[in-house]
Amino acid sequence: MNIKVSASILSADFAFLGDELKRAEDSGCDMIHFDVMDGHFVPNISYGVPVLKSIRSRSRLPFDVHLMITDPLKYIDAFTDAGADHITFHEEICGDKNEVIDKILSRGITAGISVKPDTPIERVYPYLDRLFMVLVMTVEPGFGGQGFIPKTLDKISALRAEIIRRGLDTHIEVDGGIGFNTAPKVARAGADLLVSGSFLFKSEDMSASVNALRREE
């Protein structure tokens, strides 16, 4: 399986964010992961549209935007205008998921849906044929640096089986506690897009860390 790596800037040094983006790109990362938290849907506040807009010109990599917010529909245009290449929102929102997907796709970018660790993976099945990816959270969303939750491996396996059964090419992204020991486990379960923050940005040799994430054994 062709494993791709998305570097989560939640763990980057924000005093040198432009340099951190370049380091991720030079180290072979495939995407930049941009976590947006509103302090309501999850118990933390991160950053938003102005930060995305300010760093868009500092990287040629696709920007993988994860909206951990209560009402993503209201912000699709703003994040797309700021430079998002892909937007993922949560299955657990109260609004119409198809309406959010419609809006994302109408802007000419790709859509994804994320599920928290305790959300049944079957809830995303009705939308699979419209999604570029499904993001399986392997920690509770809200804070970086958490430990990996092993039970999420079963959800990844079930989702991969459903994607294969339906003949789709939907990607499975994972985020939370992804590092040297957990990357092979999620890859064997069926994930092909790995988000990593602390493991990458806290490493002295990010290139070696990226390569470590891509190994499947």
Helix (H) or strand (E) holding 172: strand 171-175
Verify whether residue 175 is a known catalytic residue.
yes
Report the distance separating Cα 182 and Cα 198, nearest Å: 13
Verify whether residue 38 is a known catalytic residue.
no
pLDDT in tens, the chain (217 residues): 799 999 999 999 999 999 999 999 999 999 999 999 988 888 788 999 999 999 999 999 999 999 999 999 999 999 999 999 999 999 999 899 999 999 999 999 999 999 999 999 999 999 999 999 999 999 988 666 668 999 999 999 999 999 999 999 999 999 999 999 999 999 999 999 999 999 999 999 999 999 999 986 5
pLDDT digits (tens, 9 = 90+) for 145-203: 668 999 999 999 999 999 999 999 999 999 999 999 999 999 999 999 999 999 999 99
- Closest among 51, 54, 19 to 206, alpha carbons compared: 19
Q: Which of 13, 19, 26, 35 is catalytic?
A: 35
Report the distance separating Cα 200 and Cα 202, nearest Å: 6
Report the distance separating Cα 51 and Cα 106, nearest Å: 23
* Structure confidence at residue 216 (pLDDT): 64
Q: Which of 96, 175, 192, 205 is catalytic?
A: 175
* Structure confidence at residue 11 (pLDDT): 93
Architecture per CATH, domain 4-214, reads as: Alpha-Beta Barrel (3.20)
